Chains A and B, each alone.
Chain A
């Protein structure tokens, strides 16, 4: 067999293979697939922040038109929560619905009302009277609480080396500052939706999620089913950003479908998403840096506090980013949490890195100012040779190249470092920069490739395309691996029946899936003999990367990037406008430049949104959110976003068995808010250490 001749599909821009369906409205999302005999479920959420349910008055509701059932803790199917799921964590009890009478936060699911039509279900759900005994609740999040604890989450809570206090004392330049970020919500445009039906003892779920394998595993465990008897499909997914795993609505739909023996659909409302879809915890972060006069770090101390619920521990590991970015003789990082009467937070685009890079990269900018060193130069002077904490070599660390190209493209050399020097009418202008990194992991996946009788190929993998362009990217990867044209390859995904595969998360999807597809394609080519007759069912070969992933050399594997921003600040109104942004990334092999540009830029838009707009405000009185909708919680809109530029540098890695792909879903947001905040300082001379940089905060900064 000859070695694969690349057809060059990877690396050239291709429009999305499902694009025509998306622009014509033909693409059906989870809540849009017709089912005969479909019933509609509507979740009822608690109106108290802590307490016990004393009564649920189902009887009057059951007599309402069209109502079929009211499920609550008195008649729910028992669920199992004593397991560890695919991602190595125990389930969040929030999704194990209706198992007891406890209410651990406002917006906790207490019942599901099922009716013939959505209108009937909604009316009945709103009419359902639920009585509670209230207990005092506590949602107050601040750094001075005595009840915080170090917590591991998906990385060790604490890393520590060197004599921190000694190096802080010895520094020629020392910085100590506290930064905060607010509670943030994913808000994918498509609300979470699931339809469940039981057929011949098998469970079939049409769902909107980031990983069919993940959801199958969780549902099978929760309901004590053989995973082989559960199927989850997720053809088109209207965004996820970390929020679309297993949630209360899928479990409630499965339970109701079992009880009623007919298909049941449960869709979250936008308001319900604000308590049931997870969120990013607020953070308070304390950074201490000490450097020599030239800006070389002697001490780095980054401590972050985040918040979790009382029923599940999720850690927003904001101090983790320093473990990759910068070394120092004394180096301490620490993630702590406190449990409060709030919904459980979860992964949200660049968990840890997004808020962590805000604090760390702003602190670097403040250090640069104090040391009189250019902020780009300061970062280049602190480029580590190896992982600062792990000591491992990097599998490609091209941050320097990103900064060099970015500085050139952004005309950084002409920047006057002094703040408050540029003006355009009523606007003060400033520029800022920040570095970015995000992990480039891989997880075991299986894939099959079929050589069809007509000469085409079909790839099957339980991948998810949540808007990342995965379907198209994997088509290009498969085409090259099969030495054929992309239009000869059909990629089928979003179906747990295709076998286990990694989720669309952690920027690991494309890397993990491509690896499995490439392996299957190579094995298939070994099997095919030139001139061979292909049987009508085709010839199918499967691959499983479990062993290959385990054998991957231990290295620090990350994408890197340099963010640049220019802002205009009106200190009379407090308005901040981003005028331009440039992100330059070193993120491995870029599979589809057309969609990759959009994904990088999309991350930078999230950075704008995080820096200037997003903030969920929790009322200490009732324990819930104020204005939990898309008017009360502003995400960047068209008018907030100028033309942004994303570039990338070539970063071949011929030794990488996954083809040098690193994943680009998250790096775009990392450092973006810091670059904007640093630009606001440069425009005004005022440091904003609390996000978002709201008009009132800008005004307060100028009243002083």
Chain B
């Protein structure tokens, strides 16, 4: 008996239900780009190695090239197209624009989605590999440039815009959070 190789699924993308037929092999990345015309999410390697396809799944960062579309049903999918509030850019987007946190722009949606995830993870107290004090009572670590670099290292930028990206993430953290500012030598003027 031949099993079906495609299904009709409903994906919740940027707050909207989108029903579509998909080949079961279709990744979430390809479903977004090739079926839903949401090409903001980029394909850099298709192997989970570059981070260009980063989206938010239920608010957490995920590389959409390593998720099958059929497995993303029932989850809240946020892409770069879903971050702005109408005409008002998300603070992370605004900071990338103002501080030139990109060059060619191809890794940018992934960097931005990743940064939005980073700010949330940090606010929730998640440590990183460079966090010094891991005791629960220590609270969230200061979001230093070193912390940002570590947390953003899954997102490659071949243009080498890392300095400006880190500045943009720090700037956005300052503008979105009441948490202690990234008051380091690298804080943005």
Interface of A with B (CB < 8 Å)? Answer: 15-16, 18-29, 31-32, 34, 117-120, 123, 186-191, 236-239, 241, 267, 269-270, 466-469, 594-595, 597-599, 601-606, 609, 629-631, 635-639, 641, 643-644
The reply on B103 being an interface residue by CB < 8 A is yes
Q: Which residue of the partner chain, among B34, B83, B163, contacts A644 with CB atoms under 8 Å?
A: B163
CB contacts (< 8 Å) of B42 on chain A: these are 29, 189-190, 238
Tell me, in angstroms, the Cα distance from A459 to B26 when the chains sit together.
42
A510 to chain B: closest CB distance in Å?
14
Tell me, in angstroms, the Cα distance from A241 to B46 when the chains sit together.
21
Cβ-defined contact, A238 with B105, below 8 A: yes
21 contacts between A and B (CB under 8 A): A15-B100, A16-B97, A16-B100, A20-B89, A23-B89, A25-B40, A34-B37, A119-B25, A187-B158, A189-B104, A190-B106, A238-B106, A467-B106, A469-B103, A598-B164, A630-B156, A638-B152, A638-B165, A639-B153, A641-B160, A643-B185
Cβ-defined contact, A468 with B37, below 8 A: no
Identify which of residues 35-79 in chain B touch chain A, using a CB-to-CB cut-off of 8 Å.
37-47, 49-50, 52, 79
CB contacts (< 8 Å) of B49 on chain A: these are 270, 629-631
Q: Which residue of the partner chain, among B47, B79, B165, contacts A629 with CB atoms under 8 Å?
A: B47
Interface of B with A (CB < 8 Å)? Answer: 23, 25-26, 30, 33-34, 37-47, 49-50, 52, 79-81, 83-84, 89, 93-94, 96-98, 100, 102-109, 112, 145, 148-150, 152-166, 185-186
CB contacts (< 8 Å) of B38 on chain A: these are 25
Cβ-defined contact, B97 with A23, below 8 A: yes
Cβ-defined contact, A24 with B100, below 8 A: no
Tell me, in angstroms, the Cα distance from A549 to B79 when the chains sit together.
47
Q: Which of B93, B104, B106, B156 has the most CB of A within 10 A?
A: B104
Chain A-chain B contacts (Cβ-Cβ < 8 Å), number: 183
Chain A residue at smallest Cβ distance from B157: A189
Cβ-defined contact, B100 with A32, below 8 A: no
What 4 A-B pairs are tightest by C-beta distance, nearest first? A25-B40, A467-B104, A238-B106, A605-B160
Known interface pairs A23-B89, A639-B153. Does A630 touch B50 (Cβ–Cβ under 8 Å)?
yes
B180 to chain A: closest CB distance in Å?
20
Cβ-defined contact, A602 with B149, below 8 A: no
Tell me, in angstroms, the Cα distance from A236 to B159 when the chains sit together.
14
CB contacts (< 8 Å) of A639 on chain B: these are 149-150, 153
Cβ-defined contact, A606 with B104, below 8 A: no
Cβ-defined contact, A23 with B106, below 8 A: no
Cβ-defined contact, B39 with A32, below 8 A: yes
CB contacts (< 8 Å) of A19 on chain B: these are 96-97, 100, 102
Cβ-defined contact, B44 with A643, below 8 A: no
Cβ-defined contact, B103 with A468, below 8 A: yes
B82 to chain A: closest CB distance in Å?
9
CB contacts (< 8 Å) of A26 on chain B: these are 40, 81
